Amino acid sequence: MKNLTTILLVVWTLIMAWLLLSPGSPDIDQYYFPGIDKLAHFSLFLGWSGLMTLRGLYGSMNIRWILLVVFCVSLILGAGTELLQGMIPNRSKDLNDFFADVLGAVCGLILAFAAKKILPAR
């Protein structure tokens, strides 16, 4: 399970980077609904932090260390991608996107701990 979570985490991280750092569409809300970007940020960080947490739980890391590392890296990734989005065409840095990132990361942590209870031990 450790190898599977590692592979999924790498793939998720690459997809997340591509989605967050590609030039945007100037009228995306017109095609979907207002706030779709917040849902996307929440979902991307929920998945990333969930996989990162599971990776740690299947490794030999202590639970407090997992929580600290995943939360801090999520904060850095969220802030970093928002700052970079301010420099990308048809993107903007938005504090509410950062809040969606953090909320998604926290929910991902919680879901990963819950999922670990029902997933195979190794």
Does residue 74 fall inside a structural domain?
yes
25-40 mean pLDDT: 73
Scan for tokens 């991608």, then name that residue.
81
Q: Return the pLDDT at 44.
A: 97
Instruction: Give pLDDT tens digits for 56-80.
Output: 988 878 899 999 999 999 999 999 9
pLDDT of 41 > 60? The answer is yes
Range of the structural domain that residue 81 is part of: 2-12+37-116
| 29: in domain | no
What local confidence, expressed as pLDDT, does residue 121 receive?
A: 67
**CA triple 86-90-91, angle to 5 deg:** 35
Give the residue, 102 or 119, on which the prediction is more confident.
102
More confident residue, 110 or 30: 110
Domain count for the chain: 1
CA distance 40 to 100: 9
Question: Between the ranges 3-7, 27-31, 96-100, where is the mean pLDDT highest?
Answer: 96-100
